[in-house]
């Protein structure tokens, strides 16, 4: 039987993180491609270097069956600049379900686990991007599509460089008042 696990990335079982990285590399290969073990070790090292609020530390969320990862997602704190000023949001990335297990609710389960910190008030919002084919999925979970332009002012190509893939949807969770209109600056690369 599948179960949902959430844990701080710095303390996560390396085997589970490697499996999650293998799934994401299979779906969205890095350029250049990364070995899942190296990618996992890099993510864990980055998480261990975090010195901020422990409640906002990077986390991994898994749906596992035995020792096999069926779905995964990663969340972490990201400080952004908005038309209303600076804001620390929960970034959501690497949401993946093993191809042969899609359609069983595992994506929903892992994303609900990820959103739990927003629901508890640890973060006010989560900001991420997704393909247009996922519009209904995230809407059912309570997300909104505010239409913000998202840039990375620190990009070497120039301060107006897009931070997210322009062909994908900008998503904010939850759908409620308080999310600023206008341009969002990730102050770093997309995720």
| The pLDDT value given to residue 179 | 98
**In sequence order, what are the beta bridge partners of 72?**
62, 96
Judge whether residue 171 has pLDDT over 90. yes
DSSP assignment letter at 83 = T
Q: How many CA atoms lie within 13 A of 160 on its CB side?
A: 0
Architecture category of domain 3-185 in CATH: 3-Layer(aba) Sandwich (3.40)
Which residues have CB under 8 Å from 96's CB, separation 6+?
Answer: 20, 23, 24, 27, 71, 72, 73
| The pLDDT value given to residue 83 | 97
CA distances to 13, 17, 42, 59 from 3, rounded to whole Å, are: 15, 16, 26, 16
Q: What is the band of 167 on the pLDDT scale with cuts at 50, 70, 90? A: confident
**In sequence order, what are the beta bridge partners of 133?**
none
* pLDDT tens track for 92-143: 999 999 999 999 999 999 999 999 999 999 999 999 999 999 999 999 999 9
DSSP assignment letter at 180 = P
Length of the chain: 191
User: Among residues 61, 71, 117, 129, which one has the least CA distance to residue 90?
Assistant: 117
Judge whether residue 77 has pLDDT over 90. yes
């Amino acid at each position: 039987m599948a179960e949902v696990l959430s844990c701080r990335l710095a303390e996560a079982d390396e085997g589970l993180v490697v499996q999650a990285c293998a799934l994401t590399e299979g779906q969205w290969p890095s350029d250049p491609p990364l070995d899942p073990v190296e990618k996992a070790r890099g993510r864990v090292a980055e998480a261990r270097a975090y010195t901020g609020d422990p409640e906002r530390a990077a986390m991994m969320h898994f749906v596992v069956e035995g020792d096999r990862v069926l779905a995964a997602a990663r969340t972490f704190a990201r400080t952004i600049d908005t038309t209303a000023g600076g804001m620390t949001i929960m970034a959501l990335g690497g949401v993946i379900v093993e191809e042969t297990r899609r359609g069983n609710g595992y994506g929903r389960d892992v994303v609900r686990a990820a959103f739990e910190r927003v629901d508890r008030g640890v973060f006010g919002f989560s900001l991420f991007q997704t393909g247009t084919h996922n519009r209904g999925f995230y809407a059912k979970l309570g997300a909104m599509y505010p239409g913000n332009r998202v840039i990375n002012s620190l990009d070497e190509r120039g301060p107006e460089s897009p931070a997210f893939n322009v062909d994908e949807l900008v998503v904010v969770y939850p759908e409620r008042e308080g999310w600023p209109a206008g341009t969002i600056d990730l102050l770093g690369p997309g995720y």
